[in-house]
Amino acid sequence: MNTAHDTRQRPARLAVGVIGPGRVGSALGAALERAGHRVVAAAAISEASRQRVAARLPHARILEPADVIAESDLVLLTVPDDALAPLTNGLAATGVTVTGKLVAHASGAHGYSVLAPLTQAGALPLALHPVMTFTGRDEDLTRLANCSFGVTSPESLRPIAEALVMEMGAEPVWIAEEYRALYHAALAHGANHLVTLVTESASLLAQAGVDHPGRMLAPLLGAALDNALRLGIDGLSGPVMRGDADTVATHLAQLREHAPESVASYLALARLTADRALAAGLLRPQDAERLLDVLT
């Protein structure tokens, strides 16, 4: 059975509007259409956003934000984190009718309280954050269907929020409102800083004369990531875990000579690694003492 085809043939259940049809908003809208809903309107200012609407949301009319809300049962506010509160306040100030309408945002940094001005006017607030990066390419939809969503809403709306995520093929993970910022910090710390760390490592290898740093790093970093996800701190290896203080001192000397901008991050991560390894019993206290002397 062709499930995707059957889904597209079902009568649309919710009229969806997208305010801010960038990479994320257009992908979410397309995923909801695949689930049998229908994106009927979008508020797009830039030419790039208009092109995304045409390519991914072909049934949507380009309207003003208040008109998008008027046409929709479910409104996606998919704008940058810092623009979400001003947008919410601005929409509420227009006096547009939101009573009984689902209003969802995709920001990881915010829970549903950021939607308070609209909630007070009768809207039903949802925070649906896809834990995925978006490129604006076709693979966004494939990745969306295999990721987790951080879901936060009033308890009464939790079944609706989780059902929408599951309809898109993803896994809803409940995040309490008070932990939303911590949740987002964890994701940014892991994903964003991983990119910085990997590119820094590749740059240092290039300085050391390696022609294809990515080719060298891929098997090592792939195995390290797999170990970390499966084994936690028990997947750790390397000189810090072994307590090789002299090796770490040599690393620091080389970084000071060739890449002084990298010293602070190496020190911070090595100290954190030593603390975690010591607490897990992977690093002997006597080795930790020598190592920490080098790291201070």
Rounded CA separation 221/83 (Å): 35
255 residue type, one letter = L
Return all residues near 180 (Cβ < 8 A) that are at least 6 apart: 108, 109, 110, 111, 127, 150, 152
pLDDT in tens, 271-282: 999 999 999 999
pLDDT in tens, 220-264: 999 999 999 999 999 999 999 999 999 999 999 999 999 999 999
Q: Which domains does the chain possess?
A: 3-175 (3.40.50.720), 183-295 (1.10.1040)
> Which residue from 170, 164, 161 is spatially nearest to 143, judged by alpha carbons?
170
DSSP 225: H
Element (H, E) at 43: strand 38-43
pTM of the model: 0.87
Q: φ and ψ at 108, to 5 degrees?
A: -75, -30
**225: its two tokens:** 């990531």
pLDDT in tens, 3-41: 443 444 444 489 999 999 999 999 999 999 999 999 999
CA 212 to each of CA 207, 216, 223, 258: distance values in angstroms, whole numbers, following the listed order: 11, 7, 18, 19
